[in-house]
Amino acid sequence: MDRVILHCDCNGFYASVECLLQPSLRQVPMAVCGDPDSRHGIILAKNELAKGYGIQTAETLWQARQKCPELVLVPPHREEYLRCSRLVNEIYQQYTDQVEPFGIDESWLDVTGSRQLFGEGPEIADQLRRRVREEVGLTISVGVSFNKVFAKLGSDYRKPDATTVITRENFRQIVHPLPVSALLYVGRSARQTLESLGIHTIGQLAEAAPSALTPRMGKLGPQLIAYARGEEDSPVRYIWEEQEVKSVGNSITFPRNLTTREEVNAGITALADEVAGRLRKHGLQCATVQIQIKDPQFRVISRQKALERPTDLEREIRKAALELVWNNWTPGAPIRMLAVTGAALTSGGGEGMQLTFYTGEEEKRKRQRRLEQAMDRVRDKYGKEALSFGRLLHNDLGLRGAGKERSEENDSGDSGQE
C-alpha cells in the first residue's frame, strides 16, 4: 500500500505574516526586504499584488522598484514568523506525529495512519487549508502524493490556497512536462548541467540513463533520475526525532565591499570563529571547509577543501578558508559577501583526537581547544561580544566576532536569501 504524504507550504509566508500585522498592506503591492543600509537589499517575499508586477524573490530592491515604483517595502519581523510557524505546525501535529519541517514555512506530513480518523489524503489537505486560514490567518498550498518529492511538486503546482493530488496514475501527465528546475534539489548549477546535456523537463530526466549523468554530476545525477521516475522513498521524520546537522555555516554581507587582504582576513576570522563555536556546541567536527565569495554583481564563487583531520578549532577552519580565498580571489577585486561552512561532519570533539607521531602538534591543538572552550564559557555567560580577536576591533565592516547564522543543514538548491 502506498504511503500518503502531504507537503504543506505557507503562501508568501513573510509577506502574509506582515499583512496580518498590518492589514492595510493587503491593499497595496508590498514586499519584505533586507535592510538596504546594511546591503541586505533584496526581496525576501512579496504579496500577490506585487507578484502581478513580475517582482521576484531575491532580486535587488532597485530592480523591484523599476518594475513597481509604488512598491511598499517592509523590514522582516522574524520573531513573528517563528511564532506563526509554530502555530501552523501545531495544527499539523494534531493529525500525525510524522511532521518534518523543511524550512520555516514548509512541512511534510505522513498521514498514512491517520485516514481512518480524518479521511483520505485530499480531505485532510482541505481540512488543514481551512484550519490554517481560519485559526492563523494564513493560506497554505498542499501537495498530496505517495512520496515526499512529488508531494512538494504538488504544493508548488497551484498557488495560493490549493490542493493538488499527484498519484501513480497521473504523475507522468502532471510532473513530466514541468521544467527540470521544478524538481527538488535541482538548483542553478544542476539545472545548467542538465540543460547542457539536453535535459530541460522532468520527463526527459526520467528517461535519461544514470551512466550519462554520473560523469558530470556524480551520485546526484542518478538520484535526480530516481526522483523524476517517482522512486523516492525517504521517510517523514517523527516530531521527536532530532534533525541531523549536516553542515554548519555562516555568511556576512558587508556594509561596504572588501578590497584588501586585511579586510578579507578579518571577515574570515569572524566567520570561522562563529562556525567553530557552533561545532563545539553540537559536539561536532568538520572534515571539509567550504567558502563562498560573492561580488557586487552577485556572482558567486564556491570552493571547498578536505582537511587532514576533522576539527572544531577556529584557527584551523580559518587557515583552510583563507587558503581557499587566496587561491581563488584576485587581490583588490571587491567582495560583497563571504561565507564559511564546516561540512562532512563527524561526532567527537574534546580530547579524543586521532593520535599522530607529532605529539608536539597534538599538545598545541589541545591547548588551543582549551583556550577556545574557555572563550565559549565566557561568551555563554557574558554574551558573544565579551571576547573577540584583535583584528576585529575598531573596524567599519560590522564585525563583532559573529556573523549571520545561515544553516545547520544541507542547502537545497538556491536560497534566494542573503
**3-state DSSP assignment of residue 148:** helix
Provide the residue type at 281 as one letter: K
Residue 106 falls in the annotated catalytic set: yes
Q: What would the grid cell of residue 280 be? A: 563545539
Cα separation, 124 vs 370, in Å, equals: 53
CB-CB neighbours of 1 under 10 Å: 5
Cis ω for the linkage preceding 23 (within 30 of 0): no
Q: Exposure of 93 by Cβ count < 10 A (0-12 exposed, 13-18 middle, 19+ buried)?
A: middle
Give the side-chain half-sphere CA count within 13 A for 234.
Answer: 11
**β-strand 30-33 against 72-74: which pairing, if any?**
parallel
CB-CB neighbours of 366 under 10 Å: 13
**β-strand 163-165 against 140-145: which pairing, if any?**
parallel
Judge whether 327 and 312 are in contact, CB under 8 Å. Answer: no
Q: What would the grid cell of residue 104 be? A: 520555516
- Which of 18, 59, 100, 106 is an active site residue? 106
Cα separation, 388 vs 172, in Å, equals: 56
Question: So which residues are the catalytic ones?
Answer: 106
